[in-house]
Amino acid sequence: MPVVGKQKLQFKNSQSPRNPFFILGRPLQRLCAAQKSGIDLILVNNCKESIWPGMVGGAGHGTPADGGFHLGFGEEIILNVPQGWSGRIWGRQGCCFNEQGHGECETGDCSGLLHCNGVSGVPPATVVEMTLGTSNSPLHFYDVSLVDGYNLPVAMVPVGGGIGCGVASCESDLNVCCPSALEVRKGGRVVGCKSACLAMNTAKFCCTGNYSTPNTCKPTIYSHLFKAICPRAYSFAYDDSSSLHKCMASRYLVTFCPPSPY
């Protein structure tokens, strides 16, 4: 698979129309038709606060935008990735970075770096996963996963729809109904909801060891709770039938804090 090279980014700031193509202190380039040979991922922040999306490419795949950046309320960014790209995206909250890009985030932190550069986020974090075609199939696979826990609502949907396409999402605020055993609290408030695996750290809850197959790994009481609240998201490792989507589109919209119902 080709490694993602330097990505062409497009940035829209509805609150700063005089400077719509500037982010992280660097001017950005528009996506020209000749450059758009891959797939557009449109990331939108609909939350009432800033977030810092994190990204990491799968094995053999590069990471767009150095793996992380700031996205204010109402802002969007377009990343053009090559056909066949595979990776994950998550939102970080409550971040503070110095001029060198070092600091920390309340949730989804990646080793205290603004640019994750191949480092995954610390759970709990709501994760968008995708494989945009393989050597054996042109189909795109994508999902929203709560297997690593939850920190904020997110949805992924193809722009313009398509045959067999659907919405992958967790649109609700799981933090308000997170079981006390799974809560992550900072500053006296719940900022994240752990997965049962992270909280209990046993083979049964983590689907490992004797529980590592679809026949032995079954949803737990916590998985059932997550599924009831977010029916279009993965609630445990083998929750494929209702959570994994297949599609073929040239553009996908990833919205943090999507409107509910989406």
For residue 79, what are the domain limits? 9-173+231-256
Domain contains 197: no
Tokens representing 16 are: 């700063």
Q: Would you say residue 216 has pLDDT above 90?
A: yes
Q: Compute the distance between CA of residue 240 and CA of residue 230 in angstroms, rounded to an integer.
A: 14
In tens, the pLDDT along 102-144 reads 999 999 999 999 999 999 999 999 999 999 998 788 899 999 9
CB atoms within 10 A of CB 179: 13
Confidence bin at 19 (pLDDT 50/70/90): very low
Domain contains 130: yes
Q: What is the CATH number of the domain that holds 94?
A: 2.60.110.10
Number of domains observed in the structure of the chain: 1
207 within 8 A of 198, measured Cβ to Cβ = no
Domain contains 199: no
Q: Would you say residue 258 has pLDDT above 90?
A: yes
Q: Residue 141's beta-bridge partner residues?
A: 131, 246
| DSSP tally for the chain: helices H, then strands E | 3, 17
Alpha carbon separation from 169 to 16, 103, 143, 201, 232 (Å, rounded): 29, 29, 8, 26, 5
Q: Compute the distance between CA of residue 115 and CA of residue 96 in angstroms, rounded to an integer.
A: 13
Q: Compute the distance between CA of residue 62 and CA of residue 116 in angstroms, rounded to an integer.
A: 12
Domain contains 1: no
pTM of the model: 0.84
Domain contains 92: yes
Residues in the chain: 262
Domain contains 209: no
86 within 8 A of 58, measured Cβ to Cβ = yes
115 within 8 A of 66, measured Cβ to Cβ = yes
Q: Compute the distance between CA of residue 136 and CA of residue 106 in angstroms, rounded to an integer.
A: 40
Domain contains 213: no
pLDDT value at position 262? 59
In sequence order, the 6+-apart residues with CB closer than 8 A to the CB of 136 are none
Domain contains 206: no
